[in-house]
Structure 1
């Protein structure tokens, strides 16, 4: 098989793998936060997603702590899958063409963002309102 993964293939892989996400996967992605953020920041094709990745992490953390639960499980699972994929594609979606890995990473993040963008925006709005409320309490 030559060529890179298409957006449809990436979406299908992401959706299929998301169905297998467990609490252990969430713990793992939270443990790897610094490694994943460093990889995203240092890689040209991924760097544009740095703020998105930070936002995804904030959402997963708020969900994990029970602070924010107004979200479909699929969104959490898709984000966890995408972040684990960026960290180590072989763990999540076996990659037959290793040298295309970084292109796939960017594609997986882009597809994940498309799938969860509204939920991510809702979370950021909630987080912003929560911060404003806590500032006005002081």
Structure 2
């Protein structure tokens, strides 16, 4: 998959596809969770070098550092989009989740450094 991010941007959204339901995936200290097939969008930020951050998230085999690292081996990458900082990571998450009629599959996923309920949302395939 080809993608490009604007190095002047600091926010990104990665859309993933999960082809079949998976059960009992350990997500760091959050616990074990089941994930339904469909689309998942992860929203993040990088104060510098956004390309390196996104490329790390796209890798499958890596040291597990973030919640997404535990789920990544099961996901196929659909698209990557970068955004300017003005909106803020949490506001971008809320806007995209609302626009896609997404739901939060795991409270706290990707949002341990803010007050958001999560930074991963799920879009059901119909």
Taking structure 1 as the reference length, the TM-score comes to 0.24
Pick the structure with greater CA Rg: 1
Could you say which structure has the higher helix fraction?
A: 1
More strand by share: 2
